Amino acid sequence: MIGEDRMFRRTIGIDYSGAQTAEASLRGLRVYETRDDGTPVEVQPPPSPRKYWTRRGLAEWLIAELESGVPTIVGIDHGLSFPMRYFERYGLAPDWDVFLEDFCSHWPTDAPHTYVDFVRDGSVGNGAARSGERAWRRLTEEATGSAKSVFHFDLQGSVAKSTHAGIPWLRRIRAAHPGLHFWPFDGWEPATEKSVIVEAYPRLWSANYPPENRTQDQHDAYSIARWLQDADLKGALRAAFQPPQPDAIAGHAAVEGWILGASWPPQQKSARRRTAVGRDVGMTTKPGYVNRNRQQVLHGTGLPGNDHNQVVYLLQCRDCGRHYGANGSDIFQRKCPACGGGRPGL
């Protein structure tokens, strides 16, 4: 019997794969689900000559399954959005739907007979016009201490191909189910009785469950479905949906996405590394960064700057408390316009 505090009657865990084409039968693409209080079971693809799931078949199955109206939470093991630096470089509004449309117009990895590498090498689409750097990491990847960048290709354990292959299918699912809640882009707290799709990172939970005779891919999908069920039963899922603090981090995460269960600040980094974070490439726009002139980044505003493809960030002087705007590219050298002789803020 379902407890009164339960949010969902079904959980689905998906271990994703960006290999080959959207029509290819992929051993690494696995799905497990739980219903009510039942144990997780593997979901097999519909009968066909293909033995394993295809990305296209999985998306079509999810669209059909979510028609039932049964409150369901789906955890998918790939990035759902990109780092803020990506939005800045290409002058994109900090809006997930804008991102989806723009990405899919450049990376049509859901097209027939299309490999991710076809877009990377310029044979299909225009990936060169929407590429990122492997040093760019989302705040949620920093939070886990081990999740890799969505731009770090050709590396064991990388999610780059899965992310670039999977995002167009999210757009299709969203179009088919406008009322479906994509967390956290549609808000941090899903409405009651609404189905939800979240980004999952099985490494956070897989060690909690014996692998038994499952392959790694099977166990990852199992662990997602099992943890979502356990957390819902124990009332911990509501807490996991809460935004990271402070608010500036949550503001970034609402654009970049957030891995369910990740916490802030990063638990596995030393204090020395956190205070030196601004020395790393791409870190100067992160909330909390303080430059050599004691100017601190509060959060991005999403407003266009006055330099090429720049976004305005809200800064605060740690000496006099003045708030003002600055281009992301200027943060590292900014001086306070009130007490430091700096240029007027934007």
Number of H helices, E strands in the chain: 10, 9
CB 310 within 8 A of CB 321: no
CB 39 within 8 A of CB 64: no
Q: Which of 216, 243, 267 is where one domain is finished? A: 267
Reply yes or no on whether the pLDDT at 34 is more than 80.
yes
Reply yes or no on whether the pLDDT at 248 is more than 90.
no
Same domain flag for 241 and 170: yes
Kind and range of the H or E run holding 296: strand 295-304
Task: Let me know if residue 62 belongs to a domain.
Answer: yes
CB 252 within 8 A of CB 299: yes
Q: How far apart are CA 290 and CA 34, in angstroms?
A: 46
Burial (CB < 10 A; 0-12, 13-18, 19+), residue 318, is middle
CB 12 within 8 A of CB 33: yes
Reply yes or no on whether the pLDDT at 280 is more than 70.
no
Same domain flag for 187 and 304: no
Same domain flag for 198 and 313: no
Q: Which of 216, 249, 267 is where one domain is finished? A: 267
Tokens of 175: 């179009």
The contacts of residue 262 (CB under 8 Å, 6+ apart) are 140, 143, 144, 201, 204, 244
Task: Let me know if residue 220 belongs to a domain.
Answer: yes
pLDDT digits (tens, 9 = 90+) for 95-109: 999 999 999 999 999
Domains in the chain, number: 2
Q: How far apart are CA 286 and CA 15, in angstroms?
A: 30
Q: How far apart are CA 197 and CA 145, in angstroms?
A: 23
Place of tokens 């999403």: 302
Same domain flag for 212 and 309: no
Mean pLDDT of the chain: 91
Q: What pLDDT is stored for residue 82 in this prediction?
A: 97
pLDDT digits (tens, 9 = 90+) for 193-227: 999 999 999 999 999 999 999 999 999 999 999 99
Average pLDDT of span 170-184: 97
Same domain flag for 167 and 293: no
Task: Let me know if residue 345 belongs to a domain.
Answer: no
Burial (CB < 10 A; 0-12, 13-18, 19+), residue 336, is buried
Q: How far apart are CA 144 and CA 125, in angstroms?
A: 32
Same domain flag for 190 and 320: no
Between residues 249 and 307, which one has the greater pLDDT? Answer: 249
Same domain flag for 69 and 27: yes
Same domain flag for 218 and 309: no
Q: What pLDDT is stored for residue 4 in this prediction?
A: 63
Same domain flag for 101 and 15: yes
Same domain flag for 49 and 91: yes
Task: Let me know if residue 165 belongs to a domain.
Answer: yes
Instruction: Of 119, 134, 132, give the one whose Cα is nearest residue 88.
Output: 132
Q: What pLDDT is stored for residue 292 in this prediction?
A: 84
Q: How far apart are CA 85 and CA 309, in angstroms?
A: 10
Q: Which of 267, 299, 324 is where one domain is finished? A: 267
Reply yes or no on whether the pLDDT at 284 is more than 70.
yes
At residue 254, the 3 state secondary structure works out as helix
| Percent with pLDDT over 70 in the chain | 94
Reply yes or no on whether the pLDDT at 281 is more than 60.
no
pLDDT digits (tens, 9 = 90+) for 57-86: 999 999 999 999 999 999 999 999 999 999
Q: Which domain does 317 fall in, by range?
A: 271-333
Reply yes or no on whether the pLDDT at 269 is more than 70.
no
Q: Band the pLDDT of 272: cuts 50, 70, 90.
A: very low
Same domain flag for 277 and 237: no
State the Cα torsion 153-155-156-160 to the nearest 10°. Answer: -10
Q: What pLDDT is stored for residue 283 in this prediction?
A: 76
Same domain flag for 25 and 142: yes
